[in-house]
Amino acid sequence: MSPAEEAANILEQFGVVSTGDLASYSPIDGSEIGRVGTGDPALAGDRAADAFRRWRSVPAPRRGELVRLLGEELRGAKEPLARLVTLESGKIVQEGLGEVQEMIDICDFAVGLSRQLYGLTIASERPNHRMMEQWLPLGPVLVISAFNFPVAVWAWNAALALVCGNPVVWKPSEKTPLTAEAVLALVRRAFERFGDAPEGLVQLVQGGREVGEVLVDDPRVALVSATGSTAMGRAVGPRVAQRFGRVLLELGGNNAMIVAPSADLTLAERAILFAAVGTAGQRCTSLRRLIVHEDVYGQLVPRLKQLYSSVRVGDPRELDTLVGPLIDEDAYAAMERALGGGLERVDGVAGGFYVRPTLVEVEQQEGRVLTETFAPILYVMRYRKFEDALRLNNEVPQGLSSAIFTNDLREAEQFLAAAGSDCGIANVNIGPSGAEIGGAFGGEKETGGGRESGSDSWKAYMRRQTSTVNYGKDLPLAQGIRFDIAP
Ligand code: UN1
């Protein structure tokens, strides 16, 4: 079946009517697979502000119930939604399923969290006083998501935002509007079962940059959580800061892996393959730089070249395909530029941009190696001293993810220590991509500094309030200050 026919069937299952001015094209064959209408961002701001006034006072465990129902809807629709992810983003079937599983996982996490939005009690220095900290709903959250995780990254944000008491406005990538519509259909079903969720609690606003900008500048939007390129973050961050809004940025990565002499090379090989060629190199956590010790270089690198040549590139719907198409022609052109020309298209499905993942051996870490090209290019370099490997790991502008393969405890711990990897994610004996939702996700430097998903990332979606309560009959001042009118 053609991607267009398949997409039409799936959209029908979700009750999504394909109409409007924004077309979606499948990277599988470049064909148009559906249309959506562009939204009205100012109206979305009004509706979100109204919804916030009601939702913030709903008890958090009850808010969790809505997310629980959404998780159930996602479980029931896992296969068709994953299929639509494959059709619209070009990721292989296994990765499409993984993406929807990631949504289900974060819903489960958020449901538990809805009963655990704990604050602290703090010892007061004054007699008969109690200090405490509580976490209160923040306000509408704008989620700007990218094509490469068209639904999971929205879910990381939305599931937490909802249990934290905040409405969600979603501006998905223009390249993946249909998966967003399908998710919204599931949200509506969850709403119906929930009963009394305020209108406008979860809204989808389709369109390009201009649509996003209206909401970025809307003072009622309390948090802008944006995933995408560093250039996008540079545009969004200062605009939100200008109005003292909150931003959570998850931008580019240029993730490295160090392979030490003691590494289990069989494991390393598999990890490298998944991280560097998986999702056709279009994850923000994709492995882009491989730093190999000179003693194992001669063994590992030829083996990788062999694996690279046997990886099956093609239609992502075929089960033995490991590498699907690039998202579009621009991505292909960017890869070709990074390689200095001469990139050949691989036969996949006519109309799609299929490429063979490429390994490039370099002597120095400079020029194009310092930039993130969203394509399956892996730069390979060698090192002699461990300090040099660490330096190479850190000497790029980005700071998302990193990994080391070593069986030397000292090296592993040094990699994780204060003078070790400077990234938000640092792994030992697993690759840099494919994180679980339970940990906080995000990175430093040009990656933007935000943290989403697990651990205590939820705190970014709430307003912290410090309260001191005096239950005594005196009014002692802090720091022992005396402030009395003389008798
Ligand atoms: C992204 O590419 O924006 O860790 C997110 C991973 C996935 C999420 C990637 N769980 O690779």
Residue 143, phi then psi, degrees to nearest 5:
-110, 115
232, 257, 433, best to mutate for ligand 1 pocket (most atoms within 8 Å of CB):
433
For the chain, give every domain's residue range. 3-251+448-466, 255-436
In testing the pocket of ligand 1, which one of 283, 400, 425 has its CB within 8 Å of the most ligand atoms? 283
Q: Which atom of ligand 1 is nearest to the CA of 437?
A: 10
Asked if residue 401 has its Cβ within 6 Å of ligand 1, the reply is: no
Task: Pick the catalytic residue from 284, 423, 446, 452.
Answer: 284
Q: What is the pLDDT of residue 441?
A: 98
Q: Is the CB of 435 under 6 A from ligand 1?
A: yes
- The rounded distance, in Å, linking the Cα atoms of 7 and 425 is 36
pLDDT score recorded for residue 454: 98
**446 CA distance to ligand 1 middle (Å):** 16
Q: Is the minimum distance from the CB of 90 to ligand 1 under 6 angstroms?
A: no
Among 478, 481, 470, 469, smallest CA distance to 125 is for 478
pLDDT, tens digit (0-9, with 9 covering 90-100), for 423-464: 999 999 999 999 999 999 999 999 999 999 999 999 999 999
Query: Is residue 149 within 6 Å of ligand 1 at its C-beta?
Result: yes
Q: Considering only CA atoms, which of 431, 459, 165, 410 is closest in space to residue 279?
A: 431
Q: How far apart are CA 54 and CA 200, in angstroms?
A: 11
Under 8 Å between Cβ of 181 and 16 = yes
Res 342: pLDDT: 87
**Cα–Cα nearest to 83, from 103, 70, 100:** 100
Residue pair 284/481 in contact by the 8 Å Cβ criterion: no
Output the CATH code of domain 3-251+448-466: 3.40.605.10
Report the chain (487 residues): mean pLDDT per 10 consecutive residues. Answer: 98 97 98 97 98 98 98 98 98 98 98 98 98 98 98 98 98 98 98 97 97 98 97 97 98 98 98 98 98 98 98 98 98 98 93 98 97 98 98 98 98 98 98 98 98 98 98 97 94
Residue with the smallest CA separation from ligand 1 atom 3 is 284
The answer to whether the CB of 14 falls within 8 A of the CB of 167 is no
Longest dimension (CA), the chain: 94
For ligand 1, the distance from its centroid to the CA atom of residue 283, given in whole angstroms, is 6
Long-range contacts of 315-320 (CB under 8 A, 24+ apart): 315/28, 315/348, 315/349, 316/28, 316/86, 316/90, 316/91, 316/92, 316/93, 316/96, 317/28, 317/86, 317/87, 317/93, 319/93
Is the distance from the beta carbon of residue 321 to the nearest atom of ligand 1 less than 6 Å?
no
Say which of 250, 269, 372, 452 is annotated catalytic: 250
**DSSP labels, 203-259:** EE----HHHHHHHHT-TT--EEEEES-HHHHHHHHHHHHHTT-EEEEE----EEEEE
284 is catalytic: yes
Indicate if ligand 1 lies below 6 Å from the C-beta of 433: yes
Q: Are strands 246-250 and 255-259 parallel, antiparallel or unpaired?
A: unpaired
Q: Are 137 and 101 in contact (CB under 8 A)?
A: no
Tell me if 284 CB under 6 Å of ligand 1. yes
Q: Which atom of ligand 1 is nearest to the CA of 148?
A: 2
CATH 3.40.50.2000 is the classification of domain 255-436:
no
Cβ of 453 closer than 6 Å to ligand 1, yes or no, is: no
CA of 441 to the centre of ligand 1 (A): 8
DSSP state of 93: H
427 Cβ below 6 A of ligand 1: no
Residue 72 and residue 163: Cα distance in Å, rounded? 16
Q: Which atom of ligand 1 has the smallest separation from the CA of 227?
A: 3
CA of 433 to the centre of ligand 1 (A): 6
Question: Which pLDDT value is given to residue 185?
Answer: 98
Kindly write down the DSSP assignment for every residue of 115-158, as one continuous string: T-----EE--SSTTEEEEEEEEE---EEEE--SSSTTHHHHHHH
Q: What's the 99 CA to ligand 1 centre distance in angstroms?
A: 9
Q: What is the pLDDT of residue 292?
A: 98
250 is annotated as an active-site residue? yes
What is the chain's length?
487
The encoded tokens of residue 172 equal 């998905």
CA dihedral 199, 200, 201, 204 (to 10 degrees): 140
Q: Residue with the nearest Cα to atom 7 of ligand 1?
A: 434
Does ligand 1 lie within 6 Å of residue 249's CB atom?
no
Q: Which amino acid is at 141?
A: V
The HSE-up count of residue 118 (CA atoms within 13 Å, CB side) is 7
Which pLDDT score, from 0 to 100, does residue 52 have? 98
- Nearest residue (by CA) to ligand 1, atom 6, is 434
Q: Ligand 1: which of 105, 441, 447 to mutate, most ligand atoms within 8 Å of CB?
A: 441
Q: Tell me if 446 sits within 8 A of 398, measured CB to CB.
A: yes
The phi-psi region of residue 456 (left if phi > 0; otherwise alpha if psi is between -120 and 50; otherwise beta) is alpha
Any atom of ligand 1 within 6 Å of the Cβ of 114 = no
The pLDDT tens digits for 177-203 are 999 999 999 999 999 999 999 999 999
Q: Put residue 367 in one of left, alpha, beta given phi > 0 → left and psi -120 to 50 → alpha.
A: left
Which residue bears the tokens 């939007």?
221
Three-state DSSP class for 10? helix
CA of 147 to the centre of ligand 1 (A): 12
HSE-CB of 245 using CA atoms within 13 angstroms: 25
Q: Could you tell me if the CB of 175 is within 6 A of ligand 1? A: no
pLDDT of residue 51: 98
